[in-house]
Amino acid sequence: MPRLEIRPFGTEHLAACGALLADRHRRHRAAQPLLSPRFADVDAAVAELTAVFGTADASGAVAFRADVPVGFVLGAPKPSPVWGPNVWVEAAGQAVTDAEVARDLYAAAAARWVDEGRTAHYVLVPAHDTELAHAWFRLGFGQQHAHAIRRASGPTPTTGPPVRRATRADVPVLARLDVELPLHQGRSPTFSAGRLGSVEESLAEWAEDIDNPDYATFVVERDGEVVGSAVGCAIEKSGSHLGLARPENAGFLAFAAVFPPARGTGAGRALGAAVVDWAADSGFDSVVTDWRVTNLLSSRAWPALGFTETFLRLHRLVGY
């Protein structure tokens, strides 16, 4: 086999790497046909990759055998302090003909990232590609998050407590539930560093947004009291499901939270089913959601509701 050569990612590589990305996406859609067919087209894949390369401080590496491109990795930082001094390899940020090549590509690209002080590394891997995921695991990465999808049509039977649409009278409890989710995520075993807002902030937001037709808000009741809420919307409202990770005509299960005493009663699953049914009634073809895999509740509730993983977000913190 010809020797592997690694070069820094440059503008001259966009066309060839876009073709690799389109091929990867075609294979991904064979496993997850609900993903957008658009990026199986080389021109669309090149355009997406060009946009990533145009992100501030983007950098990466391209692998060649006998002067033929066989893979690339391309990452860029996000400005939010929540993620640390970071680099993200997003959904369009990698494609390889051989999973092992990803390790050589990361070794080359990460040297620059760490030299720049970017030591928190995140990568999205197609969930069906176990060989590629294992290659990243052997680089010290572990799974942090899951992106998932299911058809909007079809039954969503639940035996949980009753769910209804939220009204303005529910704003005080909706504000409390807004805070409940980051509180839960900050505890063991998730230990999320996400910002914890205040009930007062949420009250002001809900007072303004409760009648926004772009969002469908549901509450679940137990013994006549609201114990949880969920929000559905179009996938275009999501800032994390972008590019190859954004299906066409999809709804989004954007939020769900249940107060601790009501957990384990089926309240969360009933809320999720309500959002799926709303998406079907609204004409969406599929529903997308995501969760921290260390969140024991959501990582069990959403697969039980029929969601299957599309992308795995892997994470590595260099130096520890």
Q: pLDDT confidence of 158, banded at 50, 70, 90?
A: low
Mean pLDDT estimate for the chain? 95
Domain contains 15? yes
In this structure, the number of other CB atoms found within 10 A of the CB of residue 88 comes to 22
Task: Print the domain residue range for 209.
Answer: 151-311
Give per-residue pLDDT as tens, 36-92.
999 999 999 999 999 999 999 999 999 999 999 999 999 999 998 889 999 999 999
Q: What is the dihedral of CA 87, 93, 96, 102, to 10 degrees?
A: 0
CB neighbour list of residue 188: distance below 8 Å, 6 or more residues apart: none
Rounded to two decimals, what is the model's pTM?
Answer: 0.95
**Residue 82: per-residue pLDDT:** 86
Query: Among 140, 173, 205, which residue terminates a domain?
Result: 140
Give per-residue pLDDT as tens, 3-38.
999 999 999 999 999 999 999 999 999 999 999 999
Based on the domain organization, do 171 and 300 belong to the same domain? yes
CB neighbour list of residue 151: distance below 8 Å, 6 or more residues apart: 34, 285, 286, 287, 306
Domain contains 124? yes
Contact 61, 108 (CB under 8 A): yes
Based on the domain organization, do 272 and 219 belong to the same domain? yes
Domain contains 145? no
Contact 178, 202 (CB under 8 A): yes
Q: Which residue has the tokens 């073809």?
A: 285
Domain contains 317? no
Domain contains 316? no
Tokens of 26: 């075609």
Domain contains 305? yes
| Residue 196: CATH number of its domain | 3.40.630.30
